[in-house]
Structure formats: structure tokens, C-alpha cells
Structure 1
Amino acid sequence: MSAFWCETAIIAGHDTGDGAPVRPEVASGVRVETIEGRISALHSGVQPQPGDTTLMGVAFPAAANAHSHAFHRILRGRTHDGRGDFWVWREQMYRSASELTPDKYQKLATAVFAEMVVTGFSSVAEFHYVHHQPDGAPYSEPHAMELALARAAVSAGIRLTLLDTLYLTGGIGTSLSPEQARFGDPDAQAWLDRLASLRAAIAREFPSERVGVGAALHSVRAVPEEALKIVAKQLPRDIPLHVHLSEQPAENQACMEAYGTTPTGLLGRHDLLSSKLSAVHSTHLTQDDISLLGGSSTTVVMCPSTEADLADGIGPARELSDAGATIALGTDQHAVIDPWIEMRTLEHGERLGSGQRGRFSPWELLRAVTEGAARSMATPIAASTLQVGAVCDLMVIDPSSTRTAGSQPLQLAFSATASDVTQVVIAGEVTAQHGVHTRLGLPGNLLAEALKEFS
């Protein structure tokens, strides 16, 4: 057993008995006892005991990143010197994808995951589609790229859900382009077979609490309806499924023309809407789409900083939540990696779109970046407060920095940034302190070195 003493911590409040989620409360002098990386006991209003690790500041549950493309980190600060839209940015992204090798990707992803850890993330869902060599031929080790990502996550100490992605077409009714060849598989059955082989390979090498495998459909642009039918019938029921959904109006228009329905409607047609599904972006939805996603208890993963950076638009997060969907947060192309900025950018987008404040409470934002996001993963589900039985994944915020001084602890989502994260604990182990990874050092140095290998 090990123990942490928190100066201040966010713990579960009292159950009101009305069936509503238990709201958090702020407690002082909280002693967190752990066994095998999970919280075994909590005591508040106490003093530290000899041997306790002291965490000064406000201890929150660590964040979960529900949507990441690790290699997109290459593009940060390099795509802003001209006009254009998502589709222009995509061409630059393809050039970066073409330069990846398993060794280069492991080095880059280790740095990106280390950046996530020091900013407060303890888990990540990696939406992975760069499977093969640039010409589309498999590597001699068929899971070389996937294993590189898993090894990177283990090196960085972050929990990984590796979302192996089905990517068959370059658009509805069009073949993969040469730039997309390494993303594809011959057909849906070949992907399902490769997914099964990958699950076995990951299970042999990594503990399930640290690395798990999920599945993803890139989008309805990249997965034809006939393939959706096969996936709906044969995908294992015990793994999460993610999909990029209605990120751009052009996707909706192409889907309507080809299938007579929206992307959400197409997924619903094949019974793919469920609590196991995470729909990423969901920026351009109809009212029927919102009802379908909410009624099926689908998780909707918003990536507010990316959606702003790519000019995607502001998604209907409040309406989706009210309809019954779970809201989660991700960093997608890593315009920034900062759970605190993602939280308030979600709320700020709502305010800009509605002309109203307080669309999401700070507590709801915290849920979105903890248990909401972790709900979509294959690794253990996080809680939105410190509580017995949860994994001991914590991020500690300095409440007296230039940014946070005077903030109420439960409103730090509107003042804190990753620069205020002083310590990060994952599975009961201090993994980062003041922006430095305890095993890997400064992520900036790792990133600078990794990025030298890309044009």
C-alpha cells in the first residue's frame, strides 16, 4: 500500500437520493490510500502520516483524452500561413503521414504522450489508421505501427486505447488515393481478421489495464455501406467503437446523395448507434441526428480546440447532452494539448453560439474530461471525483498562480491551464512534476528531437 496526502481534493459529495449524479465537493487534508494503483480508502480532514507523498494544491482526477492522432502533432504551428479550409489542411496532414515509419512513429508518439502526461492526461484513445508501408504493403511485422504506439504509451506511462481504424475508400464511391494507400485494408473482413490478430498481439505483450484495443470506422466517407453491414454483424461486442461523424457539411451532403440519409442516420440504419459507440466531432447535425445519438446513449467526443483550428464549426454539445448523449473531450490534431483549455473552449463555443453563459457547469466540464472521455475507452473508466475503487490517477493544480489566484477550486476550469499542473499521478505513481516527466524529462526536448525527422 502507498498513500498520498492532498492539501485539497475534489471528492464525491453526498448522494441526494433523487437519482441525480452525485456532485463533487471540495475537501481539505485528504489522505488517499492505494493498493495496486487503485484508491482503497479516503480520509478527509486529516494530517499526513510518515511516508505519505504530499500533493500541495488542488487534486483532481486526471483527465482522459478521448480522441488523438499522435502524428498530427507534427503540424502544430506549421499550417497557419495561408487561407483555406479543412480540406487544404488535410493535404498537409497526408504529407506528414507519408513520412512515418515504425521507429520514427514510436519516437514521436512517446514525446506526444509525454506531453499529454505532464499536462494532466492519464489515458488516451488513439484513433490510428497509418497501418502499412506508404505503398499499402504490410510491414514484415504486420502490426509494426500499432506496436510502436503501444510501446510509446508504456514508455510515457499513459493508459492507451488503440483504436484500429477501418479505412477503405477515399470518399463515397472513390478509391483510396496514393496518399491514403497505407491507411487501407483489402476489405472489411480483412480488417476484422487483422483486428483480431492485433488484439492477440497486444494482449501477449501488454497488461490490459495499461493498453487495450478498440475499433474505429474512419467515417462514412471511408467505409461503404456494405462494409458497415459486415462490421455491424461481426465486430466483437466487448470493445469500443469510434467514428468521425459529420465533421464537415460536405460529408453530410455526399452521404445524403449516396444513401438518402445523414451519416448518423446511416449508422442507425445498421444498428451501430449504442452506448459502445463514440461519435467524434458531430459538428453538423440535424435535430433527428441529435435525437438518435441521445436516444442511443452514444458518447459524443468534442475536440473544441481542433474544431476551432480547422474551422469545423461549433457542435451542438448542450443539445446532445440534454438528449441523452455523454459528452467527452479530446485533443484530436493537438493544436494544443491541455485538458483545461478543452474544457473551457467547449463552454465558450456554446456561449458564442447561444448568447448565453453557463451552458455547461464547471462540474459538467470536469465530467466530460474524466469519466465521459474514459467511458469511450478499453482501459479502466475514470471517475470525476476522487473515490474508493477508482484508479489512482490524479492531476494537481496550483491554486495561486498568476492565472488561478482567487479562483474557487470547482471553477478552476475557467482559469487554469496545463501550466498550472504541478503533479500528475498515474496508477499510484508520480509520473510528472512541474511539467517534467519523471522518467523521460522535458517533453519539449523529446518533441524537438523527434520532429527533426519530419519535413
Structure 2
Amino acid sequence: MSQRSLFAANAYLPQGWTCNVRLHWNADGALTEIELSAQRQANEAQAEFVLPGMTNLHSHAFQRAMAGMTEMAGESKDSFWTWRDLMYRYALHITPEQIQAIAAQLYMECLRQGYTSVCEFHYLHRAIDGNWYARPEEMALRVISAAKQTGIGVTMLPVLYSYADFNAQPLRHDQRRFTTSVDDVLTLVDNLAPERNAQVEVGVAPHSLRAASIDQIRAVHAALPTNRPLHIHIAEQTKEVDACIAATGKRPVELLLDTGLVDQRWCLVHATHLTKTEVQGIAASGAVAGICTTTEGNLGDGFFDLPDYIAAGGRFGIGSDSHVSQSPVEELRWLEYGQRLRLQGRNIANTADQRQVGDFLWQQALLGGAQASGRQVGQLARGYRADMLILNDHHPNLAGLTSNAVLNTWLFAGNDNLVRDVYVAGKRIVQDGRHVAQTEIQQAYVDCMRNLRAL
């Protein structure tokens, strides 16, 4: 058989688990045929359980290097805002070479856990002194280079970051590396255009309604090509919601929805503090709610209103954001567990059509993540990227299971990583749990961290 095919005893297709499937793809890494009722043949690549890879829809790659370093209590009450000050100080020191090493380590870890695509919400633009690099897109190119090095697909989202708070408050000195105007961001989008291909997309991200005005958001939206994604932080903290009301008379999601701009191109990240009307509004707009459970838990953000959002037909995806975890299993597990704790019930994430919680969460996160990425991913279907996970069917947790029990067991039992092999664009880049370039990527990261920790 061709090396561009894989026989799956059980493949997770858009309609659910399907037996005896042969997947075919072309040299460009796109699936060309899904052969049903296939017969297993000798000497062909084969696997027991094959699923589409997950999209990590929200990443700040440089923050991977901070994970675990902010868990010491201060003299006053710690919060998102005290963590943010520490993050700003850390961000001031990172060089282009270091951000590439950090991003490569992160993306390798994400791949080994089951993410095959990432949306990079990138705001570390300028040099350490606050001036532009000779190439304004230098830092973004370094992150894209890390994606290419590891094999992960990437949606690069240069961030519009003009203000420190509502009412056009000037940026602080420790935010100087983030500074961008509308023209700056559009220049970055234009300069990154040559990078676009089936593995790399370029969109844009107004940082938040604190950091970008409605007029700026309108201008970026009007200038961006119509097929590109837009992401924004929204309503993450109650302090942010209160400040928005004080400045505009409206809540953040309410204010953004009232522009009439929000549609399926948008991903609203950390839409944590919502009214019932806002929940309905996001769902009706067709936008994706970007839920980053481990970061939202780490920072004490709060709980997304998942049951009402599901009932309204809303689409959601998951991201690892600050990268205290790099596992889609942990994001989805704690998305469900958070709701169980909040509501004091069980098996929250389901619909009448899908009562299996694990299957519902995985399928919905696939769809939402793919939409947020602006790329043809998230399905084992013709024309989509050949991004595939092979689970370790020899692990005790999966041994002897029928396919309809696999996702519930994977997501809700144990902590071992059950991803054995990972294909991205038809290339196997993780084999037996190890990335093909793991040794050199890890060494570069260790060297980078040794230098950063010496500061």
C-alpha cells in the first residue's frame, strides 16, 4: 500500500465511530478519500483507534516559560491582575531566538498530547526597548518558524494593542513591547502574507475592549480579507466588566455584539462573565466561544455558562492559553468538572442527540477549534488536512474497549497520555509518544530557560 494511507479498525468520522476505514491523502497533506468497509491488508499502516487532531484555539506561546513560576502567594490578595504584572515583567526579557525555542517546546508538547493545530494570539511584537525590529514581523516569524520546526499547523493572529484600559488610557511602560496601532497590525498581516499556505493562516486579534477601541476594531475588520479569523479577549474578569460598564454603559459582550460585526469569523476568548442575553447573543452570532479551562482556573477567572450556551446551540472550542497544561484532555475534563462543581450535578455537557459526554465534548471542540482557526481541519473527511491521532490501544485503560467507550475513558479516566502516534498533514511526527525532533527541541529550550532564569 501507499505510504499515504492508513487503515483504521475504528475511525472517528464526522458521523461518529466507524469500523474498517482506510484514509488516503495526497502529497500536500489533504485527505483525498475515506474508504468505508475496507479490508485490512498485510504490510499496510494500520491502527485500532484513529481520531482527528484537536485545535488549540488560544495560545500565548511565550507564557509556556512562566508555567509554575507564579504560584507563590504575595503579601496582598493575589488575582489575575497581580499575575498580569508578573507576566509583563517576564515578557520584557524574551529575545526572538528565545521565543522560537519556547514556542517549539510548547508546540512539541501540544502535539504529543493531541493538538495538531494552534491559534497564536501574538502580542509580543517589538524589541525590548519598545522600538520595532528591522522586520516588524520578526517575533511572529519566529513563532511560525517554531510551528514549521515541530510540524503543527498554525493560525497567526497579530494583536491590536493600543491602550492600557477603557477611555483610551495610554499604555504603561511595561507594555511597550505590545504597542500596535491599526496600521501596525495591518502591516503585520500584509508582511506575513507570504507565509500563508495550507499549514499557516494569518488573521488578526484586537486584544480586548480595554486595549482596542470600537472604532479601531471596525477599521481592522473592514480592512481584513473576508475569509480571515478574528479573535478577542472578552469579559474574562468582573473588574473588566465593571470598567466597561463605567466607560460605555454596556457590558463587554453586549458592546461588541451591538457593533453588528460579530459572525462566524470571530472567536470570543474567556467569555466568562455573561448575562443570559449575552449567552444567547454569542450563540446566535455564529461566533466561537474560546474556553481555556486550565488557565481560567489557574487565574481564578470563573466558570463559563456551558449548559445555557449548549441549549442555545452555541459553538465552542478549547485553548491552553498560558500553558500551565498542554493537554486537550485536561481542558475538556475540567470544563466538564467545573460545571459539575458549579451546578452540583453530573454529565453536564450533552444533548438529546449525544448523551456520551466525552464524545460530545471532543466533537464540539473539534468543530469550534477548526472554525476559529480558519483552516480545513478537525474532521477526517475529504478535503481536510490529514491531521490524525492514533491512541494506544494496548494501554490498560483502552484494552478491550469498544469504540463507543473510548472517548469517555480517555477524557475521564487516569492521567497517562494515551496518544501514541500523531500525523499532521499526512506526516507522522510523533511515534510511540515521542516527537521526531524531541531531543534538539528540548535542548534548545533548556538552554533558553537557563539564560532566562539567570536574569
Structure-to-structure mapping, 1:106-185, within 5 angstroms: 106-173=100-167, 174-185=169-180
Letter in 2 for 1:144: E
Letter in 2 for 1:133: A
**Cα offsets for 1:259-291 (capped at 9, x unmatched):** 000111211232232111100011111112112
Q: Report percent identity of matched pairs.
A: 29
Q: Distance in 1 between matches of 2:438 and 2:311?
A: 42
Letter in 2 for 1:213: V
**Which stretch has the larger CA shift, 268-277 or 213-222?**
268-277
Question: How far did residue 232 of structure 1 move?
Answer: 4.1
Structure-to-structure mapping, 1:161-240, within 5 angstroms: 161-173=155-167, 174-185=169-180, 187-188=181-182, 190-198=183-191, 202-204=192-194, 206-240=195-229
1:350 alignment partner, SS class:
helix
Letter in 2 for 1:380: Q
Assess, with a 3 A threshold, how the Cα gap between structure 1 residues 278 and 434 changes in structure 2: closer, same or farther: same
Question: Which residue in 2 is equivalent to 1:409?
Answer: 406
Letter in 2 for 1:134: I
Question: Which residue in 1 is equivalent to 2:352?
Answer: none
Structure-to-structure mapping, 1:8-407, within 5 angstroms: 8-13=10-15, 24-27=16-19, 29-36=20-27, 37-44=29-36, 46-55=38-47, 57-82=48-73, 84-173=78-167, 174-185=169-180, 187-188=181-182, 190-198=183-191, 202-204=192-194, 206-360=195-349, 361-383=357-379, 386-404=380-398
2:430 alignment partner, SS class:
strand
1:375 alignment partner, SS class:
helix
Question: Which residue in 1 is equivalent to 2:354?
Answer: none
Q: Distance in 2 between matches of 1:363 and 1:209?
A: 27
**Which stretch has the larger CA shift, 441-450 or 77-86?**
441-450
1:454 alignment partner, SS class:
helix
Question: How far did residue 403 of structure 1 move?
Answer: 4.6
Q: Distance in 1 between matches of 2:197 and 2:203?
A: 12
Letter in 1 for 2:364: A
Does the Cα contact within 8 Å between 2:57 and 2:119 map onto a contact in 1? yes
Letter in 2 for 1:356: G
- From 396, 416, 419, the equivalent of 2:417 is 419
Assess, with a 3 A threshold, how the Cα gap between structure 1 residues 110 and 282 changes in structure 2: closer, same or farther: same
Q: Distance in 1 between matches of 2:241 and 2:305?
A: 16
Letter in 1 for 2:343: S
Letter in 2 for 1:203: A
**Which stretch has the larger CA shift, 315-324 or 239-248?**
315-324
Assess, with a 3 A threshold, how the Cα gap between structure 1 residues 80 and 104 changes in structure 2: closer, same or farther: same
Q: Distance in 1 between matches of 2:185 and 2:61?
A: 23
Does the Cα contact within 8 Å between 2:189 and 2:204 map onto a contact in 1? no
Letter in 2 for 1:175: P
Question: How far did residue 178 of structure 1 move?
Answer: 1.0
Q: Distance in 2 between matches of 1:270 and 1:387?
A: 35
Letter in 2 for 1:9: A
Q: Distance in 1 between matches of 2:32 and 2:87?
A: 45
Assess, with a 3 A threshold, how the Cα gap between structure 1 residues 333 and 196 changes in structure 2: closer, same or farther: closer
Question: How far did residue 405 of structure 1 move?
Answer: 5.1
Question: How far did residue 247 of structure 1 move?
Answer: 0.4
2:373 alignment partner, SS class:
coil
Question: How far did residue 404 of structure 1 move?
Answer: 4.4
Where has structure 1 moved over 4 Å in runs of 4 or more? Answer: 44-47, 402-407, 442-446
Does the Cα contact within 8 Å between 1:208 and 1:379 map onto a contact in 2? no
Letter in 1 for 2:360: E
Letter in 2 for 1:191: D
Question: Which residue in 2 is equivalent to 1:17?
Answer: none
Q: Distance in 1 between matches of 2:80 and 2:155?
A: 26
Question: How far did residue 254 of structure 1 move?
Answer: 0.4
Assess, with a 3 A threshold, how the Cα gap between structure 1 residues 296 and 77 changes in structure 2: closer, same or farther: same
Unaligned runs of at least 5 residues, structure 2 = 350-356
**Cα offsets for 1:396-423 (capped at 9, x unmatched):** 2224435545662242322265611100
2:203 alignment partner, SS class:
strand
Q: What is the TM-score of this pair, normalised by structure 2?
A: 0.90
Does the Cα contact within 8 Å between 2:264 and 2:371 map onto a contact in 1? no
Q: Distance in 1 between matches of 2:310 and 2:100?
A: 36
Assess, with a 3 A threshold, how the Cα gap between structure 1 residues 395 and 195 changes in structure 2: closer, same or farther: same
Question: How far did residue 356 of structure 1 move?
Answer: 2.2
Question: How far did residue 387 of structure 1 move?
Answer: 3.0
Letter in 1 for 2:452: F
Q: What is the TM-score of this pair, normalised by structure 1?
A: 0.90
**Which stretch has the larger CA shift, 430-439 or 152-161?**
430-439
- Give the paired residue count: 435
2:148 alignment partner, SS class:
helix
Assess, with a 3 A threshold, how the Cα gap between structure 1 residues 418 and 390 changes in structure 2: closer, same or farther: farther
